[in-house]
Chains A and B, each alone.
Chain A
């Protein structure tokens, strides 16, 4: 991170005027005389989202306070105390016995160091910095790091997916024996899905990892997730996987197949769940990767060609159906040039009758329309009711148990390659890696209901 060069960082209007009036800048040690009292401390930058009426000081006790600018009668400059924007670095050791793992950063902080003067979080990213932050990594692998982007996960899109896929492909061809992708958690499962389609049959593990609690906190899941990811990247399963906490306790991570995983809670450490199936494996430092099933692609490849297919068509959307949806909505989407629509329908894959004609019209216009279920669990089954059969007749293609976000990614990816109706349909319905499963295991749907005696007993017996 760069040094702070803006002497009035974040200050505007009356706050800014006050600082200029008394000739002080952020990081100055100051004594502020105000109607609210006398405060001594370091002048901190102001959060740009905060109001413009206060200046912020870090008192010697470590506490911060805001002082209303208009109540300040004098500010005395007593020195300077600049933040230390440097993560301590140590050379990451190399051990020829260990796998060579490449960590690709897309943004956010996997590991970080906190600047106590400012509270700023300084990302640790170079191998040396990471070694300083999470030294256990050196026991697991040899590590190289590359910062590919520096963006929030919600800002990810095809402009990132394609170069990321290309980079992974290149690193593996150059000898990487495991890939870790540091990623914000919000859209981690979207990226996992698209990478599954773009980078097919990888001979080595490709692990997406992030943290639900930022790494500047003592209770963060970041270091443990990173350690688990390193274990997974050196492990036996060569697929694109998401590696995040199993339980919210510090116990083990889960390796989720990239096409079946979804973030199911806005904040729990254990937010990521495999939907309609079970995870591939558990992973932790002590026990390594322990597969929960046998049908994974092993390290070294499954005999199928390792290939890169970096295509994407942005004219695809997800339509989340709700009762009384109006037909002009679909007309508008088609009118805006969209070529593909993934519908998240109700129940077994339904939408209301007034939309049937416009669907027929849209498919006639060449738009590819696919049906998934907003229940997330379970299959689209359009043969059960007449409505479903009629919808298929209108040109909607049911997508079995493919998750809506995964279907969106896949359709975007397919329409980047071809527009041929049958060809698109064939690729969509042929699973690349588990996005459609032949059967749903009985334990693929487990959402426990709190309050029930047997569930409460389970909670008492096992760590959350």
Chain B
């Protein structure tokens, strides 16, 4: 079986299920709960803020004495403050102002586009995030629509919920125990569209995400560009569990990511079965740990030796009965050791990789056989056991060893619920955090409920565009290519395009102009801002009136861009004025045939070039071509005749 080939996998047999959460920024002037302007800014921060997140009691459950301070990550969080983009609200030094009504209206419209039912009264909830990405420690979010759907193939994809919520900070760096966030993006209004796990294979996951994004964009109410849309992709297989791949920016990555996640879960379930065969259970799971620093004091070639030099320690753990399983493959190129390494990186903050040594890599990392054995001996490890070594500051190594044990223990049950981040190759993922559940939601006591009057909903309904699938059907039926259709239906100037079609009566002309030609000009550095809506409509009218023909379009647009001319001026400037009768006579001028190529096809091209230079747009290209064709065939005949 080729693990790289999605066609070779029986996804139905695996019980593949995938749901999508798509987040897209709304095109509002201000942020969601304050009056700061939206937008990113570069350059140095104006000020910095230093905070910690303290788990609220019930999330942690039991803990004892001073353990809390030593508990797990304990990140120091730095927020970069930008005076022009944040106020005391984003700093969590002021309660929220009343929610941005423009964002609520956009949310309602999007929910209607996804055929959701609109809630009667929206309540703001707090969704806890302890990673520091939001200074409050929670994201304010509200559900506006539920129970919607979208057609896909011969079935419906259920849209479970449409939420409007505030965006989080941008991460600047995350090194050791210090994470730095930039606050400009914080609190930008987002819509979150959540589907049911209705996608049955990776290809569907990609296609449905594209449709979701299309529907958001068709509204014309969302922001576009890099970072404006991010997807969370939930994947599970039978016997596995929900794993969330977080923050996928490129939709094209989704098929590969979900494919490999399904395979990862499959191999973790096989690992579970292997552990079961070895009679390892949650009850008899055992491990022991030791300080292995002394064993490696005199091996400067060991890559983890820096830890000792910096006053840290080298820790070792022996997992009973896990012998040979640390190298168990979970992706084509990644092993169970990487699962452990991810936990250690995130939770113990040992982010200098490699952060683990085990039987398979210990030689490469510079731990000699003799030292490895003495570490094992110190832990009474035998060949049935797995030996793992990690290094760093003492407190972190203790956390790391506990985390390794915890993750191995989870392997007995199969697939742990996790949030995973995409690795740079765009195919594999690594641990980001334990997946939070609905328990992290609680009501926001700072903001009153927002009644949504029926009139407000009916107003929104009146102003939403047609559904994207209907738009697609209509354009396809008009004979446009699929590529043009896809570009057009989400095009910000779709309405202008429609009017141009109405005026000109030529959908292909208008479609190529709006979707392709303008983009082409823009790429080549033309000032396309000069192509105002009015000018495009004027252009359509002149086109209808045959003031120019199709072939002249590009030249006219170039003049408008370059010299900021009105359409009529541009046409006057470059379209040759000629009557029909005169047009018949133009070939008389081409008496100079000195440079005429011999090859008949080249001949035609040459003549066409000659006339087009002057008459492009003034005479329909086809008519010229026919003329040239007729002329050259005459000449063909002439030349084939014997000379006198």
A contacts, CB < 8 Å to B: 34, 36-39, 47, 49-51, 53-54, 56, 59-68, 71, 87-88, 90, 93, 112-116, 119, 121, 124, 132-133, 135-136, 138-139, 212-220, 223, 248-251, 266-269, 450, 456, 459-460, 463-464
Contacts and interface: CB of A to CB of B under 8 A. Distances in A.
A90 B56 contact: no
Given A213-B92, A267-B93, A268-B94, 18 more contacts: A36-B119, A50-B449, A61-B438, A66-B451, A90-B64, A113-B56, A114-B58, A116-B58, A119-B443, A121-B445, A212-B93, A216-B56, A218-B56, A219-B51, A249-B51, A250-B50, A459-B46, A460-B45
Nearest to B117: A37
A133 B57 contact: yes
Interface stretch (B122-130, B270-278, B339-347): B122-130
A61 B441 contact: yes
B44 interface: yes
Nearest to B146: A37
Interface in B32-79: 44-58, 61-69
Contacts of A460: 44-48
Contact of B120 (A59, A68, A124): A68
A463 B47 CA distance: 7
B549 to A, nearest CB: 55
Interface residues of B, number: 67
A135 B57 CA distance: 11
B252 to A, nearest CB: 29
Contacts of A39: 146
B141 to A, nearest CB: 7
Contacts of B135: 219
17 contacts: A36-B118, A62-B438, A62-B441, A63-B141, A63-B441, A68-B120, A114-B442, A138-B65, A213-B92, A215-B56, A218-B130, A218-B137, A250-B51, A267-B94, A460-B46, A463-B47, A464-B91
Interface in B63-108: 63-69, 81, 83, 88, 91-95
B50 A65 contact: no
A147 to B, nearest CB: 19
Given A114-B56, A248-B49, A267 B137 contact: no
Contacts of B120: 34, 36, 54, 65-68, 71
Q: Which 10 A-B pairs have the closest CB atoms?
A: A66-B121, A218-B137, A62-B441, A37-B117, A62-B438, A119-B443, A249-B50, A68-B120, A64-B123, A459-B47
B441 A116 contact: yes
A136 to B, nearest CB: 6
A51 B452 CA distance: 13
B137 A217 contact: yes
A219 B95 CA distance: 13
B143 A59 contact: yes
Nearest to A251: B50
Given A136-B66, A248-B49, A463-B48, A65 B93 contact: no
A135 B66 contact: yes
A216 B444 CA distance: 11
B440 A464 contact: no
B123 A218 contact: no
B136 A217 contact: yes
B91 to A, nearest CB: 7
A65 B143 contact: yes
B588 to A, nearest CB: 76
A119 B446 CA distance: 12
Given A49-B448, A459-B47, A463-B48, A116 B65 contact: no
B147 interface: yes
B161 interface: yes
A456 B46 CA distance: 7
Contacts of B8: none
B439 interface: yes
Interface in B417-444: 437-443
A215 B91 CA distance: 17
A66 B124 CA distance: 11
A113 B118 contact: no
B138 interface: yes
B163 interface: yes
A214 B46 CA distance: 27
Contacts of B136: 217-219
Task: Name the residue in A63, A113, A114 with the highest tally of chain B Cβ atoms < 10 Å from its Cβ.
Answer: A63
A109 to B, nearest CB: 12
B45 to A, nearest CB: 7
B121 A54 contact: yes
B91 A223 contact: no
Contacts of A249: 48-51
B88 A268 contact: yes
A38 B148 CA distance: 12
A215 B65 CA distance: 19
B47 A54 contact: no
A135 B125 contact: no
A124 B163 CA distance: 33
Contacts of A218: 53-56, 128, 130, 136-138
Contacts of B68: 135-136
Given A219-B53, A248-B49, A135 B63 contact: yes
A323 to B, nearest CB: 31
Contacts of B66: 135-136, 138-139
A460 B118 CA distance: 46
Contacts of B57: 87-88, 112-114, 124, 132-133
Contacts of A212: 93
A63 B163 CA distance: 10
A65 B123 contact: yes
B123 A219 contact: no
Contacts of A223: 54
A56 B451 CA distance: 12
Task: Name the residue in A67, A112, A218, A250 with the highest tally of chain B Cβ atoms < 10 Å from its Cβ.
Answer: A218
Contacts of A219: 51, 53-54, 92, 135-137
Contacts of B56: 113-114, 215-218
Interface in B131-174: 135-138, 141-143, 146-147, 160-161, 163
